[in-house]
Amino acid sequence: MDTAIRAELPRDLVLVGAGHAHVQVLRRWMMKPVPSVRLTLVLDCPEAVYSGMVPGFVAGDYEARELEIDAVPLARRARARIVLARAVGVDPEARRVAVEGRAPLSYDFASLDVGSSVRGLDLPGVVEHALVTRPIRSLVGALEARLAQLPGGDAMPNVCVVGGGAAGVELCFALDARLRAQGRAFRLTLVCDTVEVLPGHGQRFVQRARREAESRGVRVVCRTRVERVGKGELFVEGEREPFPADLVLWATGAAPVALGLDSRLPRNAAGFVRVRDTLEVEGCPGLFAAGDCAGISGFDWVPKAGVYAVREGPVLDANLRRALAGRALRRYRPQTDFLALLNLGDRRALGEKRGCVAAGPAVWRLKDWIDRRFMRRFQVLDAASAPARDFPSAESMGMESMDCGGCAAKLGATSLDAALARLGTPPADESVLVGLARPDDSAALALSGGAVLLATIDGFRAFCDDPWLVGRVAAVNALGDVFAKGGRPRHALALVTVPDESARAGEETLYQVLAGVRAALDPLGVSLVGGHTTRGPELFVGLAVTGDLPAGGDLLSLDGARPGDVLVLTRPLGSGVLLAADMQGLARGAWVRDLHASLVRSNQCAAEVARSSGATASTDVSGFGLAGHLAELLRASGVSARVRLEALAPFPGALELLARGLRSSYHEQNESRRRAIDFAPTASGPRVALLFDPQTAGGLLLALPPERVDAALAALHEAGDPEAVRIGEVTARSEEGFVFSAV
């Protein structure tokens, strides 16, 4: 089938969300990709929570991590581009997905699998006082804290579950099991507006669940509509007195999410995206939807249950491939009978199949086996964040280590120094205040009237396959050279090498890059005034930036550090190894999300703090790593330093990856200067490696007068650099010839 893909490639397939159907598409794409089709996954949260195991988590049978599918490494294994942002709309006519905070994504084909919300969130007090079960991640994250807030001692807390479907009943039993296991006394009530609990299930199944509730003392109140939720109270229709409720869990059934409601998409009577039995959205060629967000025409009886989303996955994958090949689509037929498994807590479950009902530990073990088998297919990393033993390795899939992008793609410092030395001394020029004869982050040029022009150029090959993110980070990185000198960037020129691809694809890549560049420049008042484009084998983005010094401001040079000054680093380290791991599908999504949040932030606020705090020297930390850039500052100032390794702040995940031996491709070049550092005998392990990790869009390294450090750190933390930290002190030049010591 793949060889039949038509000629106007490459084409873009965009998956929005990582629900039960989409993770199967990613797994199948990982095993059998379609040539020349660019796959993109849009996520508002890196981890997808498997709903089938949530009651077991509530009951205390599972840890939170066991419920999670980390979609980022899974997507990387599928060689998918990842956009960590919330999709806010779909324009099916223009074939674009609107994404919060960034340029829209164009698609040839797209699919939505974004789950559902819960009904009744508009009722007074629900959002403020109830623990809502969707999004599921919010429930998992908040449950422990809410249970800890229940009255203790001799008090008997009242817990209410609102919703009589499978989700509400399971949560009721799971909460009962958890609280009893903790030895707590409590009153548990289930309230629903249906005639009976578990609508749609067989009578024997319902009766068995009813007996289970009665045996545990769970009060079940049907045909009762909740009007509002107060603090410690649940107000219901027809009752003058509210139900006492120290904790309310809201599990009232599925409701459409905003993405479907806010887009120009057809919807069924319940508000869900209306799709044909092929899972293609009605009247929207090339757009598909699956899982809870979709309603299949002619099958309104299908409940919003995970089993249906799971069964839709293979059909969705097949139809996306068929659509790309221009072939007829398969029809999906929801099963009318399936094995229903209801978690009763206490490691017991209730099962139903074709009218046969059974309950007990054996049924729970069956459910546990089914759930764990499903999860193993998608969990790339294990609990220790190492490659999962049961998952295909990156090497077995041909994902060999590649050269890194970003600032980890620099020419080595030794080669750079040697090349510049061979050029000889440049001609004298009185207008050049800082240049090749006195290297620094930015050149400084004297203008008439005493003004100073700062000028720099920086660029790199793409560190990921998201051109918008590459463009924004490239701009942030280039601006950092001007900010490091205490300057104000004013104008920028862009140089972009667009990969050799079709004219339409090249236009989209350039648009995304420049939109990312503008996203960094515009809020700072920096004008993009022009640039140049070329075609080449891979994406490269560079910027030339000019700026000036604020009125009365002095240049924050490299050469002003003095013995006794304190060294402050404004941001964490480890971006090089994290970007390398992400390329291979070895980085957790949460790590990547936190890293990206740092990469897109400028050093403007840190530069303002540096100026106001009287910094004696400043530089930004980028491709040469902390060790390399600190060495430049110390040599220029004619001093040495003492660095405390334990003080270095790593990005989440960086130390774990370094400890496992993972390195950026540029790490070895940086570490070649290790002999210039005096390491204490106890200095070893990943924190030593952190010194040499090449940084992209890193923070500022400042030398500050000791009496100004505490105030400067407080200002940095308040300005948005909470990880800013004192890492050492400037000392007199080492008599042994070491650039600095590390202890």
Q: Catalytic: which of 160, 192, 407, 464?
A: 407
Sign for the CA dihedral angle at 50, 51, 53, 56 comes to positive
Cis status of the peptide bond prior to 135, with omega within 30 of 0: yes
Alpha-helical regions (H) of 160-248? 166-181, 203-216
CA nearest neighbour of 171 among 147, 193, 195, 153: 147
Q: How confident is the model at residue 398 (pLDDT cuts 50, 70, 90)?
A: low
Mean pLDDT for the stretch of residues 130-135: 92
Give residue 403's pLDDT band: very low, low, confident or very high (50, 70, 90): low
Confidence at 195, pLDDT banded by 50, 70, 90: very high
Q: What is the pLDDT of residue 412?
A: 67
Is 605 marked active-site? no
Of 33, 47, 45, 46, residue with least CA distance to 79:
33
Q: Tell me the average pLDDT of the chain.
A: 93
Domains and CATH numbers, the chain: 2-44+85-115+256-336 (3.50.50.60), 117-255+340-399 (3.50.50.100), 431-555 (3.30.1330.10), 557-743 (3.90.650.10)
More confident residue, 526 or 154: 526
Q: Using one digit for the tens of pLDDT, what is the confidence trace for 375-395?
A: 999 999 999 999 999 898 876
Residue 397 has pLDDT above 70, yes or no: no
With vertex at residue 629, the alpha carbon angle to CA 626 and CA 634, rounded to the nearest 5 degrees, is 115
Q: What's the pLDDT score for residue 3?
A: 42
The residues, any chain, with a CB within 8 Å of residue 412's CB and separated by 6 or more, are 666, 669, 672
- Interval 28-71: pLDDT, tens: 999 999 998 999 999 999 999 999 999 999 999 999 999 999 99
Contact 88, 76 (CB under 8 A): no
Q: At what angle do helices 604-612 and 709-719 cross, to 10 degrees?
A: 160
- Tell me the average pLDDT across 509-530: 98
Residue 440 C-beta-side C-alpha neighbours within 13 Å: 27
The percentage of residues in the chain with a pLDDT greater than 70, rounded to a whole number, is 96
pLDDT band at 1 (very low <50, low <70, confident <90, very high): very low
Tens-place pLDDT, residues 700-724:
999 999 999 999 999 999 999 999 9
pLDDT above 70: residue 404? no
- CB 133, CB 249: distance < 8 Å: yes
- pTM value is 0.92
* Residues in CB range of 656: below 8 A, 6 or more apart: 384, 385, 686
Whether residue 435 is predicted with pLDDT greater than 70 in this model: the reply is: yes
pLDDT band at 277 (very low <50, low <70, confident <90, very high): very high
Q: What pLDDT, on a 0 to 100 scale, did the predictor assign at position 322?
A: 97
Residue with tokens 């999906």: 332
pLDDT single digits (tens) 278-335: 999 999 999 999 999 999 999 988 888 889 999 999 999 999 999 999 999 999 999 8
Question: 706 CB contacts (<8 Å, ≥6 apart)?
Answer: 564, 565, 566
Given this model, what pLDDT does residue 415 score? Answer: 78
A 10 A CB-CB count for 318 gives 19
In the predicted structure, residue 608 carries a pLDDT above the cut 60: yes
| Residue of 274, 296, 293, 324 lying closest to 109 (CA atoms) | 324
**pLDDT at residue 7, rounded to an integer:** 42
Structure tokens at 662: 């993972």
Interval 729-743: pLDDT, tens: 999 998 888 899 999
Per-residue confidence (pLDDT) for residue 6, from 0 to 100: 43
